[in-house]
A and B are shown apart, each in its own frame.
Chain A
Amino acid sequence: MTALRKRVYMDHSATTPVDGRVVEAMLPFLTQKFGNASSVHTFGQEARAAVDKARREVAALIGARHSEIVFTSGGTEANNLALRGIAETAAPFGRHLITSAIEHPAVSEVCDYLERRQGWAVTRLPVYEEGIVRVEDLRAVLRDDTTLISVMLANNEIGTLQPVAEIGEFVSHLRASGRRHLWFHTDAVQAAGRMEVDVEKLGCDLLSLSAHKLYAPKGTGALYVRRGVRLAPQTFGGRQERERRTGTESVANIVAFGRAAQLACEELEARINVMKTLLARFEAGVTARIEDVVFNGDRARRLPHLSNISFRFIEAEGLLINLDLQGVAVSTGSACSSGSLEPSPVIRALGRNEELARGSIRFSLGKDTSEEDVDYVLEVLPRAVQSLRNLSPLYQKALTERACNLEAQTLTSI
């Protein structure tokens, strides 16, 4: 029964499948070309050349120089390295940092750590109902001792785009007027491969990437570090990555990341078009078939592949399991926190009440999602929502109230 069931993966913001072309590129580096990139012999040189090529490919994805790319074990490490590395460099000049209220835990929890243990003051910018920080708020909270700003390029739960280029422009104005000790980091893990990312246009000093959101394997990421930015290393014991991130390079994974970045560059426009069209079809279908839904986050300034929807009167986890039993994979808020009972802090940051925060589901499409996939979800989802609502005392109460209101209206109109 389960073998015949249709399966639709609508959780590409959690991770993506590895592209066959990426697998093909990386395989030789697991078997024949297995050398350590630090070795002097031919095996080592082959590996080194492959890592260098991948570095250029990843750099090209974000408009950077190859020397500005530091490979890491993933987006989390890239974010940790950026914030902790800069915090260490910047601390003598001031310990105030500005971030947003909706960062991924890989950023927000580092900020919490710096605040609790390292004597930093942290200002978390509000995001309002649209889920976007305002540059004027950032201007208003900037202090003389502000040395670090970290605002994500696109949010992982609701997909909203943050005004990173405007913040970058503001930072460069400050620099032009003589401010030297201020660094700007952005987490682009969700954005890369789903929109144009150009470090020059963004004006950031550091930018985090993850390979597995780009159809490459898990376990690899990168941090862009603008030339001239001094980053205190957080690992010791080797010379790799110009001593900014030591440890033997995961050559095959890095090759995969490079190939995936290259494909993302070449196919970006086509991928965006596919996802945008299918997302519009999905959202129109949901709106037409299901009542009492609330779309979370700004409807225009957002990634092309992600829809975060609150279904009133029900809890998201029940919907997730119900859909899973029918072969549809989605997530509730951030995948990292789905084991906890807490409603999503991102949805709460939009000012939504607890019921809406507990009823929010993230649907995220990928480059290979088909119209058939979307239509299957549109067939399954309304039934799943309705069956949970039939169980819900909140829904029954709302129905009774509506019936009363209708009766009252009918009476007054007579």
Chain B
Amino acid sequence: MPYSIAFQDHFSNPRNVGELDDATHTAEETNPVCGDRLRLSLRLADNRIVAARFLAYGCPPTLACGSVLTEMIEGKTVEEAFLITRNDIINAIGKLPSRKSHAAALAFEALRAALQAK
């Protein structure tokens, strides 16, 4: 198994699965090459992410990155969330094989899109 303990944990027990009924911001991003999808819904209050949920379709790294991303952003201000990079997501999941780094990119794009969405 080339995946880290953190990866296996998020993959086996994904956090914050689903969709928020009272989301203020949502986005669904698709990787045009492999077709992986990540749907992110956020509730913002006072410029802070108070809740985050995700749905994902695709390879295991996409699922794990979705899960770890929701954990990373809950409680952060919008400005703090904008500072999160692809590498931060990869580090949080404990490294990805390079051919799977597109999974972190998808999570990153979904976060950006959601924060900018109405």
Contact = CB atoms under 8 A, between A and B. Distances in A.
Contact of B57 (A321, A322, A325, A392): A392
A392 B56 contact: yes
Contacts of B36: 315
A228 B28 CA distance: 63
A396 B57 CA distance: 11
Given A392-B56, A393-B28, A322 B12 contact: yes
A185 B54 CA distance: 51
Nearest to B12: A325
A341 B33 contact: yes
Interface stretch (B43-51, B58-66, B82-90): B58-66
Contact of A393 (B3, B11, B14, B57): B57
B35 interface: yes
B55 A318 contact: no
Please report whether the interface of chain B is mostly helix, strand, loop or mixed according to DSSP. Answer: mixed
Interface residues on A, range: 20 to 34
Nearest to A313: B57
Interface string A370-396: 000000000000000000101111101
Given A325-B8, A393-B28, A341 B57 contact: no
Contacts of B19: 396
B85 to A, nearest CB: 24
A318 B60 contact: yes
B25 interface: no
Interface size for chain B: under 10, 10 to 19, 20 to 34, or 35 or more residues? 20 to 34
A394 B55 CA distance: 9
A185 to B, nearest CB: 34
A315 B59 contact: yes
Given A354-B35, A393-B37, A393-B39, A315 B58 contact: yes
A364 to B, nearest CB: 21
A324 B39 CA distance: 26
A226 to B, nearest CB: 44
A317 interface: yes
A392 B35 CA distance: 13
Given A339-B99, A391-B63, 4 more contacts: A315-B36, A321-B3, A325-B12, A392-B56
